[in-house]
């Protein structure tokens, strides 16, 4: 009998008694609670990553605007020098 067969027998025996059902109920609740906590943590992490991405994009656009302005100024000053 493999590990899954042993697990099935243990689960069946656990469901046969009130104490076994109580333990499984608690384990199930803890599993649901852990899953919910993991979901909330993931959503929070995703929100932080989105904020960080938005800040980086804003910085890049600001840098591009500065570079564009500097390039235009240099072109105008070269044209005026001729």
Segment (H or E) for 82? none
Q: How long, in residues, is the chain?
A: 82
Query: For residue range 58-75, what is the model confidence (pLDDT) as tens digits?
Result: 999 999 888 877 776 666
Percentage with pLDDT > 90 across the chain: 43
- Structure tokens given for 8: 């099935």
> Has residue 82 got a pLDDT over 60?
no
8-state DSSP, 2:
-
Query: For residue range 40-53, what is the model confidence (pLDDT) as tens digits?
Result: 999 999 999 999 99
Higher pLDDT, 81 or 27: 27
Segment (H or E) for 1? none
Burial of 28 (0-12, 13-18, 19+ CB in 10 A): exposed
Per-residue pLDDT, 81: 58
For the chain, the average pLDDT equals 85
- Terminus-to-terminus CA distance in the chain, angstroms? 92
- Structure tokens given for 26: 């608690």
């Amino acid at each position: 009998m493999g590990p899954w067969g042993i697990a099935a027998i243990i689960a069946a025996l656990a469901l046969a008694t009130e104490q076994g059902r109580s333990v499984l109920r608690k384990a199930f609740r803890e599993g649901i609670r852990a899953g919910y906590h993991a979901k909330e943590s993931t959503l929070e992490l995703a929100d932080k990553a989105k904020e960080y991405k938005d800040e980086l994009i804003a910085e890049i656009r600001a840098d591009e605007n500065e570079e564009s302005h500097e390039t235009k100024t240099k072109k105008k000053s070269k044209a005026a020098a001729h």
